[in-house]
Structure formats: structure tokens, C-alpha cells
Amino acid sequence: MSCFTRRTFVSAALAVMASGWASGALAAEPIKIGLITALSGQSALAGESLTRGMQVAIDEINAKGGLLGGRKLELVRRDDEANPAKGVVAARELIYKEKVAVIFGGLDTPVSMAIVPLVNQAKMPFMGPWAAGTPITKNGARTNYVFRVSAVDEIVDQGMVEYAQKTFKTSKFGLIMVNNPWGESNEKGLVAALTAKGMKPVGSEKFEGSDVDVVPQLSRLKAAGADTLFMVGNVGPSAQVVKSLERMGWKVPVVSHWGPAGGRFTELAGPGARDVHFVQTYSFFGKQSPVGEKVVAALKAKYADIKGPENITPAVGVANAYDAMQLTALAITKAGSTDGDAIREGFYKIDSYEGLIKTYKQPFTPEVHDALSSSDYVWAQFIDNRIVPVGMAK
């Protein structure tokens, strides 16, 4: 009997120890956060800016003890090469192999649009820190897992019209758009914004992402009497528009979405890059809030190439990704777990957060999955390869 008792005691003790080890292992198990973005090619600089914004936020959260009882956050990245099919493959890998809690994704509206049905089906929270296509968050899903801390095309388009009217006192607008879902989203938004003001574009032209000459399309807009161009395209295609304008000798104001900010625009576009005015959500130039000062200090400490605000580029990527990561951490905390549906509900429970871009007050509701509005945008241009708010050129 005593042998049985002793054996029972040893077994029970081992079970308790194993249980303790298991719970300790669970507490130590990292919470993986996925990022799918362009990490190579013409937009690699933008992908790196998203990485840095997220990583600085993750370091800050981990230094405070992590989430859910001490679990540290871990960033897992995948390069989509600006290719929707590769983005979908990366999303599947992050969901089913890496078992991330949330996916951040990335630069290109076509890539995000391809991933959206997959994440909604998998009940995987998806946070957009860059791509601005309106249908990314307004995707028609009954239960929508897609959130965003970034610009939204339909709001940017209204801002582009207002900015052009105020800054250039012009009224004959020509549209020059990349021929993909992002271009379509903005064409629709710009036409709606002009219609609301009793106007319509004098012409609307498309170009392919691989085009090296856009003179025929621009010539048609010039012949139609355009006195301002609204441009939507990422780094390479936007640079070709600028170079084509130079070849034509046509000096016309260009008001752009933020595509040119994503990489080597000044190198590819040449001197004409300076004449493009584009939207941003944040600038590290000028006096910073306490949060801004903290983020700049963290970036300088972590990345040797960052000496000042001119090196934090594109600023929009860093700022959007930082705030989006902090809000996502709050949602996970509110959820009390890494369950996808609980995190989705957690986003709705965020009351306020003093962020980098602004102080967020109930940033997400079941009806609104976009945390930024038109009042959160600033306008910028390239000055000596630096993205500087318009009017701050030295």
C-alpha cells in the first residue's frame, strides 16, 4: 500500500510540475505579428519604413512586459514583391504555418484586395498601415476582420480636389491613373469629389505600371485643356509621368496620392519630382509631440542611418505602422487572448489612445474600420530628396 501511495505521490508531483512547465511555456510563447509588404524592388524603402514603425512599437511594448501576462511580440515578415498572388501565398503561410495573431499588409491595394477574402474567411485580423483603396475596409463582408490606420482613397480624393483649388486656383482637372484596382478606386473617388462641386474632369487617362512613356495620354489631357493633373501611381509609374511631362515641356501642377513617397522617386523622376505635391499622414519635421520625440529617439537609437527627420522616410509608413501596432496591441489586451474574433471585438473596445499621428477616440466601430480622417492629412513635396511639408522648404 505504501508503495502505491508513494508511486501515486510521485506521479501527482510530476503532473503538477509538468502543468507548471506548460503554463510557463505558454506564458513565454511569443505572440507573432505578420507583415506582408514589398521588401524588394522600387517600393522596398516603403516596406522598410513599415517594418521600422512596427518594430519600434513592438520593442516599446516588449520593454513594458509584453502582452497577456508576459508574452512578447515577434514580427514575422514576408516579401510580396508587389504581386497579389505572392501576397496570398504569404498570407496562407502566416495564418496556417506561422500561426500569427494579426497580419499587417502592406503597400499595394491590389495585393491587399487579394488577401482580404482570405483573412475574412480565416477570421484573421488584418491591419492596413499603407494601401489606401476604399474597398479594402469597405469590402462587403458580413463579419469584417479588416482594419486600417492609413489614408482612404475616397477621403484623399476629396482632399486632392480641395487642395488643388486652394493652392493652384485651377478648375480644369485631368486624371492620370495607374490601370489597376487602386487607380479605379481613385478615379471613382475623384469623379465623385468633382461631381459634388458641380464639376467633372476634362479627361481621364490610364497607364500601365510597366509603361516607360506616358506622352500620348498626357498629350490628350493637355489638348482637353487640363490646368492641373491628379496623379495616382506608385514610385516607378509616377516617375514616368513626370519624365514624360518634361519631354513634352508641359509645366502643369501635379497633385498626387502618396505613391511617389514609397521609394526612389527623386532618383527615377529627376528634377521634376519637386513639382509634385502629394498627401501624407504625418511629418517628422517641425515641433514634435512627446510621442513624436519618443519615436524619433527610438529610431535613432535602433537604426544607425537615422540622424534626423530627413532620414525617417517615408514618414507615412513609419507613423502609420507605429500607431497601427500600438492600437493592435490594445485590441489584443482588450481581447484577453489571441483568438481572431476576440481581437476583432477588441478593436471596437478601444476608448482612446494618445498616438503619434493624433489622439484616437474610439478609432474603430462595427461600421467604421478606418481610424484616420481627412483632417489627419498633410501635404508634402520632395526637396533635395527629403519629403518636406509644403511651405517648409528651406
Model confidence at 393: pLDDT above 70: no
Give SS3 for 364.
Answer: coil
Asked if 44 and 38 count as a contact pair (C-beta separation under 8 A), the reply is: yes
Report the C-alpha dihedral over residues 209, 324, 105, 107, rounded to 10 degrees. 10
What is the per-residue pLDDT across 161-175, written as a single tens digit (0 to 9) for each? Answer: 999 999 999 999 999
Task: Read off the pLDDT of each residue in 273-287 and give the average, rounded to a whole number.
Answer: 91
Closest CA to 82 of 74, 90, 73: 90
pLDDT tier at 233, thresholds 50, 70, 90: very high
**Average pLDDT of the chain, as a whole number:** 91
Q: How confident is the model at residue 314 (pLDDT cuts 50, 70, 90)?
A: confident
Compute the chain's Rg from CA coordinates. Answer: 24
So what's the pLDDT on residue 84? Answer: 96
Q: What is the pLDDT of residue 12?
A: 52
Q: What is the pLDDT of residues 380-389, one digit of tens each?
A: 898 877 888 8
Q: With bands split at pLDDT 50, 70 and 90, how would you rate the model's confidence at 21?
A: very low
Does the structure show a pLDDT above 90 at 15?
no
- Condensed to tens digits (0 to 9), the pLDDT of residues 137-156 reads 999 999 999 999 999 999 99
Residue 27: is its pLDDT beyond 90?
no
In the chain, where the domains are located: 31-151+287-373, 154-280
Mean pLDDT computed over 86-101: 98
Query: Which tens digits make up the pLDDT trace of 178-221?
Result: 999 999 999 999 999 999 999 999 999 999 988 999 999 999 99
| Better-predicted residue by pLDDT, 18 or 298 | 298
pLDDT tens digits for range 29-74? 999 999 999 999 878 888 999 999 999 999 999 999 999 999 999 9
Q: SS3 for 369? A: coil
Which of 256, 311, 293, 282 is CA-nearest to residue 48? 311
Helix (H) or strand (E) holding 339: none
State the angle between helix axes of 315-335 and 290-302 in degrees (0 to 180), rounded to the nearest 10: 110
- Tell the CATH topology of 31-151+287-373: Rossmann fold (3.40.50)
pLDDT of residue 23: 45
Of 321 and 209, the structure prediction assigns the larger pLDDT to 321
3-state secondary structure of 189: helix
pLDDT at 8: 56
Assigned CATH topology for domain 154-280: Rossmann fold (3.40.50)
